[in-house]
Amino acid sequence: MRSNFFPQVTGRQKAAAAAFFALLLFSPACKDNDDMPVVDEQAYYAGGGTTVFGEYSQVFQQPATNLSSQEVADHFKADANFEAIFVTAPATIQGGLGPLFNQNSCASCHIRNGRANFPDLPNDQGGLLFRLSLPGTGSFGEPLDIPGFGGQLQTKAVFGIQAEGKVDVQFTDEVLQFLDGETAVLHKPVYILTDPYTTFPTEGLMSPRIAPPVFGLGLLEAIPESAIQMHADENDADGDGISGKPNYVWDAVAQQVALGRFGWKAGQPTLLQQSAAAYNGDMGVTTTLFPSENCTGQPQCDNLTDDPEV
């Protein structure tokens, strides 16, 4: 879908497109011209001036081609932070890992800025984490944390600390039949909590989340809230088979309810809050936005001082 919010295409990009179209035009063909593919320039530049071309493993890590030299420098500085590996305190750099965590760097889950692969459970969780909750919702519609576990299962811990638990997976086969009679076998994962450090409530819920790609999130944040609201179609009034509504969540900076944009269920309103929450929940690293450790109220946090670590 093309959006008017994308920056304009640069002259260099237009020249590249012209060369591409010329190649298509003058390449030998065995079929009539009517069979030649028609290239839509708007589709070719689906990201407007931010479009990056490439078919290699690091393509999601490349900066947009319309950035200034300072913006490119900022991109690579942020990319270095994204790949930085945290260690336990005290440390001169990148200290503050844990005491509970899932991985020790952003890049450990978001592989080359893309999505995570399905992990080798229970030996390695990889980029898969589990949200935890009790039935019901809080004051702002948020899930209810599980006492003693919080809202996310941390499967790793620093030396001398016990992790909250581990997760194993089993698969059940389900046969799906299409309208034409053809069948396919689906492998449905069933996740099982193992080795919890304390009793996990029987009514407790676990929801898997695989780490998604992280490219293009700045463009999503730039879209006006009114444009998102305009495309809401909770009851599929237009009959296209797609329905949805905006999610409103608590903005920890503005101290008010705001439109959710980030995460699998649009649970975070800004990139700042999304990043700070990931630092805290995934790596146990505190910030000025979330200065408390992710095990507050649990025995793993006894005698620990809450303070911003980055």
The per-residue pLDDT for range 128-183, each reduced to its tens digit, is: 999 999 999 998 889 999 999 999 999 999 999 999 999 999 999 999 999 999 99
Identify whether 131 is part of a domain: yes
* Higher pLDDT among residues 28 and 53, named by residue: 53
Domain count across the chain: 2
Are 118 and 210 in contact by the 8 Å Cβ rule? The answer is: yes
How many other CB atoms are there within 10 angstroms of residue 298's CB atom?
Answer: 20
Q: C-alpha 82: how far from its chain's center?
A: 13
pLDDT for residue 33:
58
Kindly report the pTM of this predicted structure: 0.82
Tokens of 75: 């991109």
Same domain, 39 and 89: no
pLDDT for residue 2:
41
Residue type, 111: I
Full residue range of the structural domain in which residue 52 is found? 1-68
Same domain, 45 and 185: no
Instruction: Give the range with max mean pLDDT: 14-18, 55-59, 187-191, 293-297.
Output: 187-191
Same domain, 126 and 64: no
Same domain, 48 and 147: no
Provide the H-helix boundaries in the chain.
11-26, 41-44, 69-83, 217-222, 225-230, 271-283
Identify whether 77 is part of a domain: no
Same domain, 35 and 96: no
- Rounded Cα distance, 8 and 47, in Å: 9
Identify whether 156 is part of a domain: yes
pLDDT confidence bin for 302, thresholds 50/70/90: confident
> How long, in residues, is the chain?
310
Same domain, 59 and 122: no
- Report the range of poorest mean pLDDT among 38-42, 119-123, 212-216: 38-42
Tokens of 101: 């965590």
Verify cis geometry, omega within 30 degrees of 0, for the bond prior to 99.
yes
pLDDT confidence bin for 303, thresholds 50/70/90: confident
Same domain, 148 and 195: yes
Identify whether 310 is part of a domain: no
Identify whether 307 is part of a domain: no
Same domain, 120 and 246: yes
Same domain, 139 and 13: no
Tokens of 143: 């899930």
Rounded to the nearest 10 degrees, how much is the dihedral formed by the CA atoms of 41, 44, 50, 55? Answer: -150
Same domain, 100 and 164: yes
- Select from 33, 68, 103 the last residue of a domain: 68
- Rounded Cα distance, 25 and 266, in Å: 44
* Mean per-residue pLDDT, 93-110: 95
- Rounded Cα distance, 215 and 48, in Å: 14
